[in-house]
Structure 1
Amino acid sequence: MGVVVGLAGAALAGFLGATPYAPPPADLHVARTAEQIERGRYIAEHVAHCTTCHSDVDRTRFSGPVVPGTIGRGGQAFGAAEGLPFDAWSANITPAALGDWTDGELARALTVGVDREGDALIPIMRYENYRHLCGEDVEAVVAWMRSLEPIENDVAEPRVDFPLTLLLRTVPDAAEPWACPDASTPREERGRYLTRIAGCADCHTRREGIEVVGEPFAGGNEMRMPNGAIHRTANLTPDRETGIGLWTEEGFVNRFRAHRGEQPIVGEDGRSSPMPWSAYAGMSDDDLAAIYAFLRTQEPVRNVVEQYTPPPAHVATR
């Protein structure tokens, strides 16, 4: 028994010593030009929608748009109400909290998923996608973070129970940057890059807990709202009956254009959307069209999705 315990202890010590993956931060010094900051703002606020989690959002309006003056302050709660097996709060990413981090440490957090001390970040921040950010876009996001108005806001540490604490140590991985799209990049390839950074497959692929059980982009993933309503994500494959096979490019882009500007007040039935429409709507028409072109390259999957179940209180009053 003593030998078994000793071996188990040695194995655990080896595991803890080898995880999480945390390479030294790069010796990075971002220039922070106006052009770079604007590119970072575009990626962070509209493609990767960082501000959707790292700011206050107005739940009285459709899809919870960001509250002006709160960008980057963090503090949003994520836990059992969203069907998650832990309690976590989004970090304060303004210079008030991260001002003493180096540019390399910020870039490593984005693309590898570890904090300044090398501890694993909760992967509700989709660094598994951001690890594919091209180098120029990583630097642009770092420049944008440096440009934010400092906001003092102390955020609680996450609460994660054993053995999930061990599993989370395995999530950080090496950055694997893709090439930066430019004018010569085929539209479908640019759409592939944007779709990955935007995390479209994360929500539009059915999961049970953290396990993927559905076909990519075929929808049906349950998203629980604080009021008890359940949204199920749409089928984005080019299936003609249950997906976007009959959608035109213009119709796809217009679906996002409709959410530019102020979002409507949520009605008495409480129906909103977990998708950050107001963030994605800020993408350019060309980028939205590129995403459409990429989605059209996917294998069609027939999957009928009942997209919405009202909250129990609303069902009881009907």
Structure 2
Amino acid sequence: MQEKTSDRVVVITGASSGIGRAAAQLFAATGASVVLAARGREKLEEVADEVRRAGGVPLVVPTDVRSEDEVKALARSALKQFGRIDVWVNNAAVSLFARTEDAPYEAYKQVIETNLFGCIHGARAVIPCFRGQGYGVLINVGSVAGIYGQAYTSAYCVTKFGIRGLGESLRQELLDTPDIHVCTLMPATIDTPIFQHAANYTGRAVQPMPPVIDTYRVAHAMVSLAERPRRELIIGWAAKLLAVQHKFAPGMTERQIARMVEDKHLQERPAPLSPGNLFQSMPELSGVSGGWKHDGTQGRRKRLPAAMAVAVPTAAAVAAMAAVVLFLRR
């Protein structure tokens, strides 16, 4: 495999906003050719201009990842234009806030078809290409919501747990081709427009649960995985602590996360019921940032108590569990 991303051909789904848009810019800055996929052409053309300005070569291919035929056509377009695919990023995702029994069935189904089947379609489209080449990197964008669940987002969590399992299965199937890598990227709360895009049937406005991570931090991690593949990568220190806590004390962690969702994810102000972008794209909200993260001192002060609310009980629980393990090993 090539050791650098320069001159690589990178396919990114969900490239019109958020992490996908940021990653397109960063891959382009390395000199890569970037194939941009999402439902809407207009915003993809904007990203294509950003790719050109950053030094990359763009190819716009409007694609609905819910359709396996369209995803296969995306792979064929990349191969026809550039002759190979070095990196494929399954990034397209939507979200839904609702109690499981209250969510409209079709809305719930759309989350699964976009997030989970979108990754499956991507894998099925690109792995034959990777096998023919003898190399390639597949990056599936999961979430820490694939390690521990959370209230009101069961559809999203189901897909992210599934994506993690998909990665494990694919790695086993590809043991005969050691230069094909499957990576699962699992970020915590990211400053993207997904919260404005999300379907919402709770009756309450939603917001990201702090601490909120800058989008480009995740995009940099994605570029790093393309250069130095890893099985799984968690982004966010609070999420890493919660993952360890969940391993040793799942019941306590579930109760803690449930309280966090009620207090920090759902706001007190009401919001109308909405399907968000589940059934059609929302081009008016297509930036890299969702505007949730503020770099000013006031913003940091506001986030600090919320971050500590996650960190203090989690760190204490992890320390307690570590002490128990050390005691039992004596």
| TM category, shorter | under 0.3
In the superposition, the TM-score normalised over structure 1's length comes to 0.26
Comparing both structures, which one devotes a greater share of its residues to helix? 2
Alignment TM-score, normalising by the size of structure 2 = 0.25
Higher strand fraction (1 or 2) = 2
